[in-house]
Structure 1
Amino acid sequence: MPSLPSDRQSIPVGQIALMEQLGLSLPEPHVRSYIINGARRTVERPDRTEHFYPPQYLVGETVRDHLRFTLRYEAFDLRVLIAAFGQMGGGEIARWVMDEPTGAYSRRAWFLYEHFTGERLDLPDITMGNYVDALDAGRHIVATPVNSPRHRVRDNLLGTRDLCVTVRRTETLKELRQARLDLLAQQLITQYDPHTLARAVTYLYTKETRSSYDIEGETPSHDRFEGFVRVLREAATFTPTPEALVRLQNQIVDPRFAVSGVRDNQNYVGEATRFGEYVHYVCPKPEDVPTLMRGWSALTERLLNDPQIDPVIAAACIAFSFVFIHPFEDGNGRIHRFLIHHTLAKRKYSPPGVIFPVSASILRSKDKYDEVLETFSRPLLAHLSYELNEQWEMTVPGDTYPLYRAFDATAFAEYLYARVRETVERDLKEELSWITAYDDVYAIVTGVVDMPDRMARNLTRYFVQEGGRLSNHKRRQFSQITEAEIAEMTALMARLFRPERESGDTG
């Protein structure tokens, strides 16, 4: 047992201590625990959560002690546990189970060890005792459990041994889930007639397509643009098999860069500088992609079909894990965002036939999108090496698969939920309101003057854009219409825009 900490000292415990003791070269977990000479408290920082425990929580110095603490008290990062299992071997786990054959923590460690290493320890199956959860449902978002009779453990992981993410329960996610944005969207659209809704939805699909390409700084051809709109409209019926993903990639990229399967070369995300390439993200090695995609398919199937898992959290796990695998040479970002819509539609979170233009929200604050992606990519770069040749082709030495097969997806779930909230409360509402205002103004404009339809549409658009007024600059485009007629239109539509003007005057 280590000595008690002094007044100014803190002793690492749990998964952060496992990393130090076993010399694990990994990005540090979000949750970090310490023993202090003081009261129990938690400090939330942008990049980590620190738990401070009083001296009575002090444990021994063995790997088993810290593993027990992790399983008992922490919302842990599976990447740390998997790496720890690889370093410590099965002997320590077997001895722990033999010492405590019915212990909850020993059985959970045993299950996780065999599940992720694929090694079956020389231990008899457990035949008595209650089942325990692999993940603590009070600290993690969990799947509907599947019993593992050998360990008497309920497998409630979000993925499989090939690819598994974890999502911590946070106050942010709790508040966002309680907002019931799906019900808010449903209540909003029921206020409008089907024709108005259909016109709004058509625009929202166009807006999502344009924004998704704009995020990547691309200007697609008309055919590719319309093709992506069609793809989005079919998101609910899409089945994300390997073959379907390849067909999807072929539909949304330039035909010259269509693929027939996952990539077989080392890829990375970077930008050109005066002196070479600045690397933002190193993708998994090509030999690891088939295994990761097999894991992604299993994770996706589980999250799409498990009603216990929140649909927005499921969408974040599916979409972000896909983009981090980066299985294709081109189109990964657009497919990543398409998968968000696929999940929300498949899980019936977005109303039937309606799309939440998440990419528009991303585009409005692209710096935040880049920041959340960097919470995965930046720590990764510190724990792998790479080389670039004269053609800027990359090679990555060593075994890097452990860096990608498990990660904490909490930040991505929180980020996506915030984007969905903005699209429901802003984009969906604004578009429906705009179309309603447009129809009302169009009726006034054409009621005062019987004019060509294109002229009426343009005049209506300007009136709506300017809150029922017409600027002198725009007025010059309609010389055929008299001042008296413009004044009559303005007077008739004043009632439509008066609430906005009064609100603006008081603001």
Structure 2
Amino acid sequence: MEAHQKNPFSGPVTVFQERRLPEQARPVGYAALIDAYELAVPIPVRLTAIGLHHRIKEADNWLLLTPRHEPEASLEGHLIFALKYEGLDLAVLKRLLLTVGDEPIEEIVQASPTGGYARRIWFLYEWLTRRRLSLPDAQNGSYVPVVDPKQQWATGGKTVSRYRVKDNLPGTPDFCPMVFKTKLITDFVDMDLKNQAEKAVAAVPKDIMARAAAFLLLKDSKSSYVIEGENAPQDRIQRWGRAIGEAGLRALDLDELNRLQNIVIGDQRFIRMGLRAEGGFVGTHDRDTQAPLPDHISARQDDLPSLIDGLVAFDRLAADLDPVIAASVLAFGFVYIHPFEDGNGRIHRYLIHHTLAQKGFSPPGVIFPISAAILDEIEQYRIVLESYSKRLLPVIDWRPTASNNVEVISDTADFYRFFDATPHAEFLFGCIQRTIEQDLPQETAYLKSHDIALTAIMNRVEMPDRMAEKLILFVRQSGGHLSKKRREREYEALTDTEVEDLENIIKDAFDDH
């Protein structure tokens, strides 16, 4: 039995950690390591097992490989299998490496000093645990990437001579979520949405584009409040809209996050501003006892400074990571950490704009109404948020406090540093595609039709611009006709013929676009 190993590697099963397998099979890789070393970690979305038949099968988030793929039943065998077939799950790896300690890893490297997997394991051990093994620097072996770029999104990387590896991890030990190269994300990247957005903007006259951009900016700001269940007054919506309009102009740090919270929170008398001084959760309270009923538990308050440092470092280091992937990692990482008592959701969505603008993805002066797209897909948004929260909650030990909050009593910081952000990236790509292909064209088309209608109205009947603009609004709201109440109250001076002509002008202008 391996050092520190609690249980032997299991045989074929039909249920693993309350998850059914498609058929009887032997868990391998991360599943086998989690089981054998009793690791209290969020279970990876996708697990692997060795089936009893000589065919590969995928079902229910299980990959069943054939007996010829089965690794040696040892720490080294399953660890190398995980790196080869399952990519990096840094949360599992860190708990595993801390559990097994120095000696087994030193033995793996000494047994295969030029082996690419051995050197990757060595690097990951020292990078994750911040402990130096009693091993001399590697002298031979081709440089190998720490992240397999065929499996997961990574940076260009830098060579690290001690291990003869290329460190292409997209973050630091303080914060480094990973995203898998799924077909959906690869297809989105191949669409070149940035170029599509630039072409869409270039095809619109500058004056119309400026007005469309202003409308979409306020639409995003308002939607962000609605997502939080708030009906904010117009001045707060406009103030937050101005902040979103400046996204990407300032470097991200704690002072900037505090500034954004101050803008978001209107009445600060009942909110402790700045980083939380106690636990936090998203959920409800028991109606009778007021005990907390969490759906998501936030990072411990003591861990917030290092987690924020990690977010800031990620924002600055992941320069060559795809902008949408980087935005997904940063924004959803922030909302899982939930560093403030209030304002987290709106700042989380602001960070999407920040990253897209900072990386030059958004056309200058244009803010994609991401929050509006999220609002229209609010159920899917919640599913994406819960894709990690539901796996995280069972491994957090907590107790209720006297103030009906939560106190986390287990070490959970790594679960906010490292998580699988693949569903989040897929979702955000879809939202951005929608804003480019639907929201932006629809708004510019509306403004073109509006201008045509306004000009034609003024040529037919002389009236103040504001009155003509309201006429367009009223006619469109009433299905193409001016209501009796509006006509008697505001447009009583118009003749029946004029009203009919103006209704047709508005209908024709909008039917053509």
Name the TM-score, length of structure 1 as normaliser. Answer: 0.92
Matched, 1:278 2:290: no
- Provide the secondary structure at the position in 2 that maps to 1:235: coil
- Provide the secondary structure at the position in 1 that maps to 2:248: helix
| Correspondence for 2:434 | 422
For 1:194 and 1:77, locate their aligned partners in 2 and report how far apart those are by CA, in whole Å.
47
For 2:463 and 2:243, locate their aligned partners in 1 and report how far apart those are by CA, in whole Å.
38
| Correspondence for 2:202 | 190
Instruction: Tell me how far 1:334 sits from its aligned partner.
Output: 1.0
- Provide the secondary structure at the position in 2 that maps to 1:236: coil
- Provide the secondary structure at the position in 1 that maps to 2:492: coil
| Correspondence for 1:19 | 34
For 2:311 and 2:429, locate their aligned partners in 1 and report how far apart those are by CA, in whole Å.
21
| Correspondence for 2:45 | 30
Letter in 1 for 2:299: P
For 1:3 and 1:459, locate their aligned partners in 2 and report how far apart those are by CA, in whole Å.
74
| Correspondence for 1:200 | 212
| Correspondence for 1:160 | 172
| Correspondence for 1:503 | none
- Provide the secondary structure at the position in 1 that maps to 2:177: strand
| Correspondence for 2:500 | 487
Letter in 2 for 1:174: T
**Cα gap change, 1:460 to 1:108, in 2 (>3 Å):** same
Q: Deviations over 1:301-355 (max 9, x none)?
A: 112xx23x11111100011111111112221111111110011111111100100
**Cα gap change, 1:44 to 1:184, in 2 (>3 Å):** farther
**Cα gap change, 1:251 to 1:499, in 2 (>3 Å):** closer
**Cα gap change, 1:260 to 1:472, in 2 (>3 Å):** closer
The 8 Å contact of residues 9 and 36 in structure 2, kept in 1 or not, is answered as no
Instruction: Tell me how far 1:41 sits from its aligned partner.
Output: 2.6
Letter in 2 for 1:179: M
Matched, 1:78 2:105: no
Letter in 2 for 1:412: H
The 8 Å contact of residues 126 and 152 in structure 1, kept in 2 or not, is answered as yes
Selected match of 1:267 from 280, 304, 325: 280
For 1:497 and 1:393, locate their aligned partners in 2 and report how far apart those are by CA, in whole Å.
53
Matched, 1:394 2:409: no
Letter in 2 for 1:80: V
Matched, 1:299 2:314: yes
Matched, 1:224 2:239: no
**Cα gap change, 1:330 to 1:124, in 2 (>3 Å):** same
The 8 Å contact of residues 101 and 126 in structure 1, kept in 2 or not, is answered as yes
**Cα gap change, 1:39 to 1:423, in 2 (>3 Å):** farther
Instruction: Tell me how far 1:261 sits from its aligned partner.
Output: 4.0
The 8 Å contact of residues 261 and 273 in structure 2, kept in 1 or not, is answered as no
The 8 Å contact of residues 9 and 73 in structure 2, kept in 1 or not, is answered as yes
**Cα gap change, 1:3 to 1:230, in 2 (>3 Å):** closer
Selected match of 2:445 from 430, 433, 437: 433
Selected match of 2:249 from 227, 237, 258: 237
- Provide the secondary structure at the position in 2 that maps to 1:35: strand
The 8 Å contact of residues 4 and 55 in structure 1, kept in 2 or not, is answered as no
Q: How does 1:288-367 map to 2 (within 5 A)?
A: 288-303=303-318, 306-307=319-320, 309-367=321-379
Instruction: Tell me how far 1:197 sits from its aligned partner.
Output: 0.8
The 8 Å contact of residues 116 and 141 in structure 2, kept in 1 or not, is answered as no
Structure 1: tracts of 5 or more residues without a match: 501-507
Matched, 1:214 2:211: no
Structure 2: tracts of 5 or more residues without a match: 1-7, 14-21
Q: Deviations over 1:409-432 (max 9, x none)?
A: 101111111111111122111111
| Correspondence for 1:376 | 388
**Coordinate RMSD, CA, aligned:** 2.3
Q: How does 1:30-69 map to 2 (within 5 A)?
A: 30-43=45-58, 45=60, 48=61, 50-69=62-81
- Provide the secondary structure at the position in 2 that maps to 1:165: coil
For 1:72 and 1:78, locate their aligned partners in 2 and report how far apart those are by CA, in whole Å.
14
Query: Sequence identity, in percent?
Result: 36
Instruction: Tell me how far 1:70 sits from its aligned partner.
Output: 0.8
Instruction: Tell me how far 1:492 sits from its aligned partner.
Output: 4.4
Matched, 1:406 2:418: yes
| Correspondence for 2:160 | 148
Name the TM-score, length of structure 2 as normaliser. Answer: 0.91
**Cα gap change, 1:297 to 1:11, in 2 (>3 Å):** same
- Provide the secondary structure at the position in 2 that maps to 1:166: coil
For 1:480 and 1:470, locate their aligned partners in 2 and report how far apart those are by CA, in whole Å.
13
**Cα gap change, 1:4 to 1:407, in 2 (>3 Å):** closer
The 8 Å contact of residues 368 and 436 in structure 2, kept in 1 or not, is answered as yes
Tell me how many residue pairs correspond in the alignment. Answer: 494
Instruction: Tell me how far 1:220 sits from its aligned partner.
Output: 3.1
Q: Deviations over 1:263-319 (max 9, x none)?
A: 22111122244232321211111111111111111111112xx23x11111100011
The 8 Å contact of residues 270 and 279 in structure 1, kept in 2 or not, is answered as yes
| Correspondence for 1:505 | none
